[in-house]
Structure 1
Amino acid sequence: MWMSQNSHSDVNLRHTCEQGDGLSSYSWLIHDGVNFGMQQIRDTDFTLITTFVKRMGTWWGLDLENHRKTEREQDKTRLSHVTGTSEELSDFKITFNKPTSEDTATDKYASYNYLQTQSLGLNQLTDIVKNSLSYRFVFSPSTDQRRPYIAVATYTPPPQNDNRNQSDFVVHQVTVQVPFQIEVLFESGSFHDRPNQLRVSVLTEELTRLELSYREKFEEAFSRVYSRSVPSRSFFPRGFLWDEGFHQLLISKWDPQVTREVVAHWLDLMNVEGWIPREQTLGDEALSKVPSEFVVQHTENANPPTFFLVLEEILEQLDVPQLQDTLPFMQRLYPRLQTWFKWYNTTQAGLLSNSYHWRGRDKDTNRFLNPKTLTSGLDDYPRASHPSEDERHVDLYCLMVLASRGMASMARLLGEPHQEYENTYETLSNNSLLNELHWSEQLHAFCDYGNHTQAVSLELVRSVHQAPELQYVNALGYVSLFSFLLHVLTPDSQKLEYIRDPARLWTPYGLRSLSRSDPIYMKRNTEHDAPYWRGAIWININYLEVRALHHYSRKEGPFQEKAADLYQELRTNVINNIYKQYQETGYIWEQYSDSTGQGQGSHPFTGWSALIVLIMAEEY
């Protein structure tokens, strides 16, 4: 936690970086995911830089140094260290060194305060500290420099039902003038053969070695690019099933073992029927930021099975050494994937044979301009105006082409019966069937089908000016592109003539999510529900579009040359805009404006927006 001592303002104590704080920027500058990292937080009048280094021993143990530095005589209350034990950490010791000047490493004057109490959960630690603060302390580096400051003093926790009689929360407050640096050392008691304690010289040496190794690995993984990425916990501190498939496309290039662990973890959440919850809301921190209506999930609701994107990628790029590690993993995964695939074909099947239908749409048709389909991952993207069992969803259809293709490939690799998956793939990938179920001659695009009217408006409740009827949902946008994005269309398909037409979705910054000519373009869904997938530029879909253009530019067909030209132009537009916005704002954004290119929504957002690294490296 940190705060600036300013008597003219309210207490500005921070523990996490939140979008509402108005920070100039906060991001990891470098992080290898395992051993070290450096992040920079630019607050109002100072910059906080934290660096950590970990060392592992032959016994299970850990040294971790958190090197805190800010840009901007000890008393008897200084806490030098804390020792303790816990089930997760076993015995441990945390040492707090004195703050030093940044350049000379000499000790700086600081005041110290200390609080020891019982916590009410990680998500309430900030409130505990705020409630313990007192204004009665004086910071006096010399006799002629005395000024009051705020510090922790006392806190009485409310009665607990668990009969705890020991504290589990210790606050060591250091008040010091900037600039300074301070070191905090964590030592595991299970590490008995520690060669040397991490200090500034050792830390610097370790950082130099690890950063060099990181940069060499980055160049090897992504060849011509350099990127700075950060984890995003400020707004979405929970896992999403369909996001994770996109995340692993990037992570698998960096560390395939991490991808194997993440995919296995998600599949381990599967219930006996084959359902996987679309969100993982685990722990007090995540629960505190999730609306209660999204915590409980229903077992008939799906989410896009994007893990088949990364599994297909892994299978296509296997060489002999990688096969030795990946084959046992695939063998363990395969039974769960079979169950998962069967669950989709059972619960998400449409009324017509070989059609598919997202369950879980909002049923209160009077409340929404267009009832949302959160289960599709595209939230408020326009679907049939009146949800019904007659609906057919083209994005889900194409995702099942991807899934059946992946299951057939995996079954062949493992020597398992594969004919059922081959048959499903051959049926669904037949472009004649796709055309029959989803092609709209009126729009010249692939569309959903359902009980629909465009004659709707939103007042306090929705007004329907024309009765709905079963028809194609003539909304031109990302959903229209899925047969192209997932390589379902054959290279000689005449439908590519319309798919490649950029006039309606093309912008100088990337492809917008919904055509400007659509009646729902940038319209609010309710009084309190701003447009989300109704025009903004999303990087995960633009990645799939760039990837598809690259694919079709290498396939012989009447549109090969045009696909190559569009590939270069779209790739350049997306890269240039993301870089420009990062330079101007210091953030990677959740989405980008289709009219100005400006970043908007959650930030920093380096989930699927980090796919820009693969676009830059041309890794598809």
Structure 2
Amino acid sequence: MARNRTNPGKGSSKKKVVKQSSQEGSTNEVEPPVQRPKEIRSQRSRREAQNGVPRSVAATEGLKYNKFTFSAVVVALVSFVAYYGYLGYLETRIYTPLAEEKVVEKTGVDVPDRFWGSYRSGVYFGMKHRSPKSLLTGMMWMLPSQMRPRNPGLRHLCQQDDNLRSYGWVEHDGINFGVQEIFDNDIKLTTSFVKRSGGSNGGDWTARISVQPLVDVEDARDISDEIVLSFYAALEPGLEGTLDAERQGDSLNALHGNTSQLGSFIIRFLSGNGVLQSSHLVTKVRSVNEISHATLSSMGSKRINGKWIYVLNNHNVPKEPGQPNLFVHQVHAKGPFTMEIVYETASFFNRPSMLEGEAYTEALNSHRDEFHRKFETTFHLKAKGFNSTAIQFAQAALSNMVGGIGYFHGTSKVQSIHNSAPVPYWAASLYASVPSRSFFPRGFLWDEGFHLLLVNKWNPEISVDIISHWLDLMNTEGWIPREEILGEEALIRVPDEFVVQRNDVANPPTLLLALHDMLTRHRDWLLKNHKFTLYRMWPRLTAWYHWLNRTQIGELPSTYRWRGRNSTTKRELNPKTLASGLDDYPRASHPTELERHLDLRCWMAVASVLMADLADLLGYDRSKYLATHKALTDPDLLDSLHWSNELNSYADYGLHSTKTVLKRISKPDSEFSHHHHVEKERVTLIPPKYGFVNVFGYISLFPMLLQILTPNSEKLIAMLNKIQDSNLLWTPYGLRSIAATAPFYNTRNTEHDPPYWRGPIWININFLALKSLKYYSTEGKGAVAILSKEKYTKLRENVIENIMRQYYKTGYIWEQYNDANGDGKGCRPFTGWSALVVLIMSEEY
């Protein structure tokens, strides 16, 4: 529009204005719609006069022209703003929570029986409560006879490198109590705890630590029955509250504390006979990961009665500003020795007595008796003929599963294609079981579904709580991060390359498997106690299901492809597929968008029918889920997309070379290569071509494992016959992950990465195999039923015997097992899905 620099009321006409502009070049007058330099306006006026265009018409046309220009500029500007605004919106979607009602309705002190627990999965023993910030307690110890220069051997975080003979829960009910045994050289530590409900702030608890020498030390060289044992209490940084020490000389008798979540409380330290010296530490740490360092840095020794005694010295501690938040009670003791830590809330007004000494022993024995009774009525192992040794093993497997449940709070690091760098997820809490306390003390999405199959049988209330927490981690897209690394204690255990979670990477929807299992086992209980929880779950489950269908779909109809494979890597023999959960299991050697992943297609088929069943239960329309399930289980379509006549089995499809190797590439012109190690790179010896991936293994079994095949399927007979071939998957210890004749069998994926899913025996897949074999042995007819029953009986026997044998031989349940000799492999203890052996023993699938 025209901008007036003078008052238009002076009556100057447009014609006059143009004339004056042409003749005089005056600027102190009403301007045309868009001001131009005098020369341009004069030239335009002369052209208009020469063409016979009246000046008034020319002015009107100029106005139209300028309006059009202005409109174009406005549209361009609005489009620019809208475009970049949309990009900004896309950037925020990854960390925007799903706009649905939260599934977790109650937590913290509103769920008093699960408020306190052994939720610090990554430490040998510790208690915390289910709050974003917690009062933390924990145990540390050293054996003087094992101390070395620069390596005092402090035990605190569960570490593989500590090389303990064995450690783990032998009894734990997931709620009220737990008993753990730790064997370190020739010392046995037994840690236990008992909770007592009462008051309005989560109740009381007591922990007992007993130390017992395992040998007669009088005649044994380099063996000692002495221990330096510490128990600490710390206010997690960011938790508002106070802790005040009650001292007696060098000893810490008690702590008096107060926080907004706990109110007022007291922690008493009670030690029995055998104490050579007591000491304590009062300091401030900036992170919970500094507790070990702060304790070690204050450690000193002094000679008492000719013996060197280790003590804590507060003078050696750096002084941090602010109130102290770490208090350590330490004793140098001579075994046998017992320490009790008694926590009491001030809100408990009708406490019968302090939970210590005989009162503690009586309460603990009562819980142990109830645990044994419930274990037998739940799993019936004694009735099935298992002896006491086998039953104790099974009890330990279950106890480590529920005893490994942790509570985490923090912020994940996430990234999408719309984010130039990782961004924080929203701060969230997760109640979850962990695969391994020493190596994976955090939540894993696809592992959790397998964990809950066992937890469902033992305590479905815990399962509902865990599933609810996972679903509340869903963002507005319907995505759940596959690995949850929440809080400082979890983050310190994760290599940098695995910290950032990307929102195109999925995981198998095993939570649906667990939820459907719960509906099958506990339908009436679930509808009575958690029907509204299911209604809150439903919109999140549908968002997750549709996200999987939308983001993991393949190029061809009815095909699926895991995202996240690296198509440009030179280091990997076969690019990993972390999203599938099977990591380095061989897929198409050269990832492209035309891949078809058989296992994902089967997972989506199962997810569809499970969603249909849940929709029917809740009164929703299930037709679209059934339609998807029907399409994904159509045998002719499945065969056309995934059946390989050459392999006589189902397989992935993609751009694949049958011959790739890792070689060290010589680079003589490179200065780097003369002075540094050059890492091996992948070399493709035979050019890739599209076709079925020539690997027979776990992936090939998925139509059977997830019961996609009907009991009368001809393809099922072929698969059952291949299973029993010892050159393929069959071993005396379980089914190996890929055939011994497969191209990638037991090969390294990089120069530094040993084979993971390329031969070793994994218990979660063997569980699915046994579940399907039992199904086909009862639902099938003729050869299908006979072969399934035969394979089921022998495979079950092999798996149970080997896991139990390795447990008593090594002291641990393992992540995987060697297919050549049955030895435990990977990390230990691994009482995530390997603990499914309890369901295998009880034949509860």
TM-score, normalization: structure 2? 0.70
* Residue of structure 1 equivalent to 2:160: 19
Check whether the contact 1:61–1:190 (CA below 8 A) recurs between aligned residues: no
Query: Alpha-carbon deviation of 1:122?
Result: 1.6
Letter in structure 2 aligned against 1:304: P
Distance change >3 Å, CA 589–CA 8, structure 1 → 2: closer
Letter in structure 2 aligned against 1:204: T
Alignment partner for residue 651 of structure 2, among 426, 447, 454? 447
* Residue of structure 2 equivalent to 1:491: 711
| CA–CA distance in structure 1, aligned partners of residues 804 and 786 of structure 2 | 28
Check whether the contact 1:61–1:191 (CA below 8 A) recurs between aligned residues: no
Distance change >3 Å, CA 155–CA 618, structure 1 → 2: farther
| CA–CA distance in structure 2, aligned partners of residues 445 and 8 of structure 1 | 57
* Residue of structure 2 equivalent to 1:601: 826
Letter in structure 2 aligned against 1:392: R
Matched, 1:169 2:326: yes
Counterparts of residues 276-287 of structure 1 (less than 5 Å): 276-287=480-491
| CA–CA distance in structure 1, aligned partners of residues 499 and 153 of structure 2 | 31
Distance change >3 Å, CA 582–CA 499, structure 1 → 2: same
Alignment partner for residue 96 of structure 1, among 254, 257, 269? 269
Q: Is the partner of 2:158 in helix, strand or coil?
A: coil
| CA–CA distance in structure 1, aligned partners of residues 343 and 642 of structure 2 | 59
Alignment partner for residue 580 of structure 1, among 805, 813, 832? 805
Matched, 1:356 2:560: yes
Check whether the contact 1:128–1:155 (CA below 8 A) recurs between aligned residues: no
Q: Is the partner of 1:80 in helix, strand or coil?
A: strand
Matched, 1:610 2:610: no
* Residue of structure 1 equivalent to 2:701: 481
Query: Alpha-carbon deviation of 1:519?
Result: 1.3
Q: CA deviation digits over 1:241-273, x for unaligned, max 9?
A: 000000000001111111011111101000001
Q: Percent identity?
A: 45
Query: Alpha-carbon deviation of 1:311?
Result: 1.7
Query: Gapped runs of 5+ residues in structure 2?
Result: 1-139, 214-246, 383-390, 405-435, 664-679
Q: CA deviation digits over 1:364-395, x for unaligned, max 9?
A: 33211000011110000000000100000000
Query: Alpha-carbon deviation of 1:49?
Result: 0.6
Matched, 1:149 2:309: yes
Matched, 1:560 2:785: yes
Matched, 1:533 2:757: yes
Query: Alpha-carbon deviation of 1:155?
Result: 5.8
Matched, 1:201 2:358: yes
Matched, 1:220 2:367: no
Q: CA deviation digits over 1:496-516, x for unaligned, max 9?
A: 122112211000000000111
Which entry has the higher C-alpha Rg, 1 or 2?
2
Q: CA deviation digits over 1:6-53, x for unaligned, max 9?
A: 387341211123111111000101001111101011001211111111
* Residue of structure 2 equivalent to 1:339: 543
Q: Is the partner of 2:502 in helix, strand or coil?
A: coil
Check whether the contact 1:17–1:26 (CA below 8 A) recurs between aligned residues: no
Alignment partner for residue 349 of structure 2, among 192, 197, 208? 192
Check whether the contact 1:59–1:191 (CA below 8 A) recurs between aligned residues: yes
Letter in structure 2 aligned against 1:93: I
| CA–CA distance in structure 1, aligned partners of residues 289 and 541 of structure 2 | 36
* Residue of structure 2 equivalent to 1:9: 148
Query: Alpha-carbon deviation of 1:59?
Result: 2.9
Q: Is the partner of 2:447 in helix, strand or coil?
A: helix
Letter in structure 1 aligned against 2:264: D
Check whether the contact 2:199–2:345 (CA below 8 A) recurs between aligned residues: no
Matched, 1:465 2:685: yes
Check whether the contact 2:449–2:514 (CA below 8 A) recurs between aligned residues: yes
Distance change >3 Å, CA 113–CA 368, structure 1 → 2: same
Check whether the contact 1:456–1:464 (CA below 8 A) recurs between aligned residues: yes
| CA–CA distance in structure 2, aligned partners of residues 600 and 200 of structure 1 | 41
Alignment partner for residue 527 of structure 2, among 315, 323, 341? 323
Letter in structure 2 aligned against 1:474: N
Q: Is the partner of 1:462 in helix, strand or coil?
A: strand
Query: Alpha-carbon deviation of 1:158?
Result: 6.0
TM-score, normalization: structure 1? 0.95
| CA–CA distance in structure 2, aligned partners of residues 87 and 60 of structure 1 | 10
Check whether the contact 2:146–2:153 (CA below 8 A) recurs between aligned residues: no
Distance change >3 Å, CA 322–CA 263, structure 1 → 2: closer
Q: CA deviation digits over 1:221-256, x for unaligned, max 9?
A: 211163213233111011110000000000011111
Q: CA deviation digits over 1:322-374, x for unaligned, max 9?
A: 43124332222111111111001100000000100000012333211000011
Alignment partner for residue 574 of structure 2, among 370, 379, 384? 370
Distance change >3 Å, CA 320–CA 288, structure 1 → 2: closer
Alignment partner for residue 384 of structure 1, among 563, 580, 588? 588
| CA–CA distance in structure 2, aligned partners of residues 217 and 56 of structure 1 | 20
Q: Is the partner of 1:42 in helix, strand or coil?
A: strand
Q: Is the partner of 1:120 in helix, strand or coil?
A: coil
Query: Alpha-carbon deviation of 1:216?
Result: 1.4
Q: CA deviation digits over 1:112-143, x for unaligned, max 9?
A: 111110013222211111111113x2344xxx
Check whether the contact 1:3–1:14 (CA below 8 A) recurs between aligned residues: yes
Letter in structure 2 aligned against 1:483: P
| CA–CA distance in structure 2, aligned partners of residues 79 and 526 of structure 1 | 52
* Residue of structure 2 equivalent to 1:28: 169
Check whether the contact 2:519–2:526 (CA below 8 A) recurs between aligned residues: no
Q: Is the partner of 1:79 in helix, strand or coil?
A: strand
Matched, 1:123 2:347: no
* Residue of structure 2 equivalent to 1:262: 466
* Residue of structure 1 equivalent to 2:11: none
| CA–CA distance in structure 2, aligned partners of residues 373 and 7 of structure 1 | 43
- Deviation larger for 261-270 or 230-239: 230-239
Alignment partner for residue 278 of structure 2, among 90, 95, 112? 112
| CA–CA distance in structure 1, aligned partners of residues 146 and 567 of structure 2 | 53
Counterparts of residues 286-325 of structure 1 (less than 5 Å): 286-325=490-529
- Deviation larger for 264-273 or 291-300: 291-300
* Residue of structure 2 equivalent to 1:105: none
Query: Alpha-carbon deviation of 1:318?
Result: 4.1
- Deviation larger for 532-541 or 321-330: 321-330
How many residues end up aligned between the 2 structures?
603
Alignment partner for residue 425 of structure 1, among 608, 612, 629? 629
- Deviation larger for 216-225 or 340-349: 216-225
Alignment partner for residue 250 of structure 1, among 421, 443, 454? 454
Q: CA deviation digits over 1:194-213, x for unaligned, max 9?
A: 11101211111101111111
Alignment partner for residue 607 of structure 2, among 403, 410, 435? 403
| CA–CA distance in structure 1, aligned partners of residues 248 and 465 of structure 2 | 48
Distance change >3 Å, CA 373–CA 321, structure 1 → 2: closer
Q: Is the partner of 1:185 in helix, strand or coil?
A: strand
Q: CA deviation digits over 1:291-312, x for unaligned, max 9?
A: 1121111111101111121122
Distance change >3 Å, CA 458–CA 159, structure 1 → 2: farther
